[in-house]
Amino acid sequence: MEFWNNTLGSGFILVGILDESGFPALLCAAITALYFLALTSNGLLLLVITMDARLHVPMYLLLGQLSLMDLLLTSVITPKAVIDFLLKDNTISFGGCALQMFLELVLGSAEDLLLAFMAYDRYVAICQPLNYTILMSHKVCWLMIATSWSLASLSALGYSIYTMQYSFCKSRQVNHLFCEIPPLLKLACADTSRYELMVYLMGVTVLILPLAAILASYSLILFTVLNMPSNEGRKKALVTCSSHLTVVGMWYGGASFMYVLPSPFHSPKQDNISSVFYTIVTPALNPLIYSLRNKEVTGALKRVLGKRLSTQANL
């Protein structure tokens, strides 16, 4: 292992799941396929929500922001990991590492908050439908979106700056697919126990509190749905909510493992798998989970694509 003294001009070597896998080429191909799936599916969902006026309602505006966050998050991680593997060059500069960590924290934290707001939207729509236009007006919806981005940005900026002010002298090698707080702290020269506690508290605040709000919202939703007289209304509500809960479980499972589980229970391999799951796998599957079971989205997609095809035929 190479020992070193960190300066601003130094960099790191990212040794992630691609380097430690028994079938790295196959895994690289799978990750690349998931990335293109994420680009295509999230891009299509954003296009449909933007172009179809019928989807310009709070539920789909929030869903569009989720797709945007997923698209950006996987783009921060995946292209560099794949290119590094193909070029056999896993180095990343000090500044590049700081930027990657900041962007990942912004997008991840914003998604944590947005999923909680999406649960609130479903709660109001199902449990208080008569007040929906007041409690979930377009103004309230955009305020939720702005809150998600701004709080996430402020939190990410503070934690990124504090993490990178440490001197890293133990090794240049980061046993992770990308620059993230927990694996970087293992390379720090100083005692990081207090800061690790701060990171843990951040994880509880950004992950567990929104998750608790989501579970509370869906408990109330379930109670309301079970008392609905209409079978059709009950079925529609359950389909929409089950899609959201699937996304919540996939996202919070991996992120909570990384930031809430105490460090003694972590291993580099487990951390890599967990991070790949919530930064690469989940962004690729989210739009499929929402769109395949949502008749409004699939209908809007057919209308948008139909208009484009008819326009090209007329030309």
Beta sheet of 11-14, edge-to-edge order: 91-93, 11-14, 173-174
Unique residue bearing structure tokens 């783009």: 75
Domains of the chain: 22-299 (1.20.1070.10)
Q: Is the whole model's pTM more than 0.75, yes or no? A: yes
The pLDDT of residue 136 is: 94
Helix or strand or coil: residue 255? Answer: helix
How would you write the pLDDT of the chain (315 residues) with one tens digit per residue?
444 445 445 689 888 777 767 788 898 899 999 999 999 999 989 988 988 888 899 999 999 999 999 999 999 999 999 999 888 888 999 999 999 999 999 999 999 999 999 999 999 998 999 999 999 999 999 999 999 999 999 999 999 999 999 888 877 888 888 999 988 988 888 888 899 889 888 888 888 889 999 999 988 988 888 787 777 767 777 777 777 788 888 888 888 888 887 767 677 778 888 888 889 999 998 888 877 667 777 777 778 776 665 555 555
Unique residue bearing structure tokens 């843990």: 200
Is residue 5 within 8 Å of 166, Cβ to Cβ? no
Q: What is the CA radius of gyration of the chain?
A: 21
Is residue 264 within 8 Å of 276, Cβ to Cβ? no
Q: Classify burial at 119, counting beta carbons within 10 Å of its beta carbon; exposed 0-12, middle 13-18, buried 19 or more.
A: buried
The pLDDT of residue 310 is: 58
Residue 142 makes CB contacts below 8 A (sequence gap 6+) with 61
